[in-house]
Structure 1
Amino acid sequence: MVVSIRDVAETAGVSVGTVSNVLNRPETVSAESAERVLKAIDELGYVRNDAARKLRGGVSTTVGFVVLNGQNPFFNDVVRGAEDEASRHGIAILYGNTDEDSSRERMYLDLFEEQQVRGVLISPYGDILPRLERLRSRGIPAVLVDRFGGTSRFSSVSVDSVAGGRMAVEHLIETGRRRIAFVGGPMDMRQVTDRLAGARVATDNALDAVELEVIATTAMTVAEGVAAGTRVLARPRRDWPDAMFAANDLIALGLLQSLVVGGRMLVPDEIALIGFDDISFAAAAAVPITSIGQPSGMIGRTALRILLEESDDAELIPRQTVFQPELVVRRSTATA
């Protein structure tokens, strides 16, 4: 049931005009009346429906897209794929970057709900399913992007990150590395934990003894990669890993920056390096970085297509689309 401004007015015991003033011109309303209206809004879960008021029953031509990290070229490519597909259907995409911040994620979802977008694509941070249920109850479908839903409640489009993590570490083992560090975080991000899980599968299945160390980061950024690499180099040389698997290419680029000692690059002669996402900067780095590739544009196009289908038919059964990753070998993992 959609709560109207009239419902809020009745609950608060004020006129519809007073509710409107609280929402649009709060300075014209007494503190007591404003408090009653805001309490009613909170109790009823009322959301301003500006877009619906404009459309007068029409179909929205906008879709919301919430991504984890707008600085990561991988997400830029995913959004571009969604935009290419959206343009074929006369749809515009409203874009929001959470920067791995749950409060910003909530802000964008509230905004898209208020605007009554046709649907929401989201690369979520943490457990977002209850919030997406609320959106769906208001007629706004959602599709998870770059994360397997792990549920039949929502459609998702992702890459098998567990397989990608296994593939990365198997490659490092094949090149002769036996002391491997996984660098990434935060650990409440599903993408990170899946890639780590895959790395552990590879080490468990190895014929020789392989050590897997976890070096946690607070974010998936170049700066965090630099900091992690600096911490490793501060150890005695005998305690260095002989390979690093970065949870994404931005961390790998930061690690590469840090692994320069006395003007000499330690990669790949002493430490092999592999990333994840295969962004363009990985190939263009001072030492081209081996990476696990994802079909970023296809992920965006597929997610947008599914979202539009579900917005047209709410009875469609949610589907889980999982692409397979690809190992892209470059100089950073040359055989030791």
Structure 2
Amino acid sequence: MPPARRRTSISDVARRAGVSVGTVSNVLNRPDRVTPTTRERVEAAIGELQFVRNGSARQLRAGTITTAGAVVLDVANPFFTDVARGIEDRLDEAGYTLMLASSDEQPEREARYLRLFEEHGVQGVMVVPATDDVTHLVDLHDRGVRVVLLDRPSPVEVLSSVAVDDRAGAAAAAAHLLDLGHERIAFLNGPHTIRQCADRSAGLRAALADAGHDPDEAVVEITLATLNADGGQTGTQQVLALADRPTALLCVNDLAALGALRTLRAADVPVPSGMAVVGYDDVAFAAELATPLTSVRQPTHRLGHRAADLLLADDPAPSHVTFQPELVVRASTTGLT
């Protein structure tokens, strides 16, 4: 890429108009203090140079927040799209705008976006951390940027958080499958460095242990390289290759479940009689599939809305909010439409 063009500064405008920087500032902020002739000359220079004032710097000087940032794992995932909409709706009510980015589960990419937000004067951020380590977010908080952890409980007191009880969600899915007679479950999960994935694994295993099953025997956990339909397809192919094949699949999200259903259909494995499938998130398409998907519903819009609430709260004291998920039963486990 060619080097970026240097941004036109207020000093450039002053030189072009033949006035002081202070005069240009007055034209921008207090035009009544400038004579009409001088104001016209400055406005002409602004037009010629295509000058755009640095709004973030002005906001910082005024001590106000008008822009907030959010970093999610993957904005293409409908779960995070819905969460982002909840954030945006709340910020819009308050007259603020949203800068949104995806970390792709990469800590380095997350850190890069956070630096970019900070450089642009964003004074509040909501983050789905890519790893358990939130030291960099505590450092950001200590530099005066308000931080809210999104979709995970905070491991430290100083950072506010909004999360869903993922252990309870996975436990509800496990209990449902056990009630249907499934005693061996494949879990297509993400890496345990992502807190949600670790919690869902723990909830699944705890539910099986409570029901008298040995989790090490009853659970086949497969770590997906990508938490999307392609990852779900690859993981399901691994499950189908097992000699002692589980009779049910729990998927880390609905995108992975979509890939699982696609793979089972291609392999002529009927759902649910040949393999029951449970997703997670209950995004909009889950109920519209050819085989409607049983899924653990998360309150996505409320999650984002509440995170923005905490970011904008007058009280700077940290606050921690946990929502409860809900299992929505459909044909992919019961065969009933």
Q: Which residue, 266, 270, 274 being the options, matches 1:266? A: 270
**Which residue number in structure 1 is paired with residue 302 of structure 2?**
298
**Residue 138 of structure 1: CA displacement?**
2.2
State TM-score, norm by structure 2.
Answer: 0.79
The answer on 1:281 being equivalent to 2:275 is no
**Which residue number in structure 1 is paired with residue 21 of structure 2?**
none
Which string of whole-angstrom CA distances, capped at 9 and with x for unpartnered residues, describes residues 210-234 of structure 1? 7111111122111010011112223
Partners of 2:214 and 2:114 in 1: CA distance: 47
**Residue 313 of structure 1: CA displacement?**
4.0
Q: Which runs of 5+ in 2 are unaligned?
A: 1-5, 8-53
Q: Say if 1:72 and 1:261 are closer, same or farther in 2 by CA, change over 3 A.
A: closer
Contact 2:186 2:239 in 1 (8 A): no
The answer on 1:103 being equivalent to 2:108 is yes
Query: Which moved further from structure 2: 300-309 or 144-153?
Result: 144-153
Partners of 1:128 and 1:140 in 2: CA distance: 18
**Residue 118 of structure 1: CA displacement?**
2.8
**Percent of residue pairs identical:** 41
**Residue 265 of structure 1: CA displacement?**
4.3
**Which residue number in structure 2 is paired with residue 212 of structure 1?**
219
RMSD between aligned alpha carbons? 2.0
**Residue 267 of structure 1: CA displacement?**
1.1
**Residue 103 of structure 1: CA displacement?**
1.4
**Residue 271 of structure 1: CA displacement?**
0.9
**Which residue number in structure 2 is paired with residue 185 of structure 1?**
190
Query: Which moved further from structure 2: 211-220 or 299-308?
Result: 211-220
Contact 1:178 1:209 in 2 (8 A): no
Which string of whole-angstrom CA distances, capped at 9 and with x for unpartnered residues, describes residues 42-87 of structure 1? xxxxxxxx66533333413000011011121010000101111111
The answer on 1:195 being equivalent to 2:200 is yes
Which string of whole-angstrom CA distances, capped at 9 and with x for unpartnered residues, describes residues 89-110 of structure 1? 0010000111111111011100
Partners of 1:222 and 1:77 in 2: CA distance: 18
State TM-score, norm by structure 1.
Answer: 0.80
**Which residue number in structure 2 is paired with residue 4 of structure 1?**
none
**Residue 322 of structure 1: CA displacement?**
0.3
**Which residue number in structure 1 is paired with residue 27 of structure 2?**
none
Contact 1:63 1:93 in 2 (8 A): yes
**Which residue number in structure 2 is paired with residue 230 of structure 1?**
237
SS at match of 1:281: helix
Partners of 2:142 and 2:56 in 1: CA distance: 15
Partners of 1:51 and 1:127 in 2: CA distance: 34
Q: Which runs of 5+ in 1 are unaligned?
A: 1-23, 26-49
Letter in 2 for 1:275: G
**Which residue number in structure 2 is paired with residue 143 of structure 1?**
148
**Residue 206 of structure 1: CA displacement?**
1.0
**Which residue number in structure 2 is paired with residue 11 of structure 1?**
none
Partners of 1:230 and 1:265 in 2: CA distance: 12
**Residue 194 of structure 1: CA displacement?**
0.3
Partners of 1:76 and 1:288 in 2: CA distance: 21
Structure 1 stretches (4+) deviating beyond 4 angstroms? 207-210
**Which residue number in structure 1 is paired with residue 37 of structure 2?**
none
Partners of 1:137 and 1:212 in 2: CA distance: 42
The answer on 1:176 being equivalent to 2:176 is no
SS at match of 2:62: coil
Partners of 1:202 and 1:304 in 2: CA distance: 33
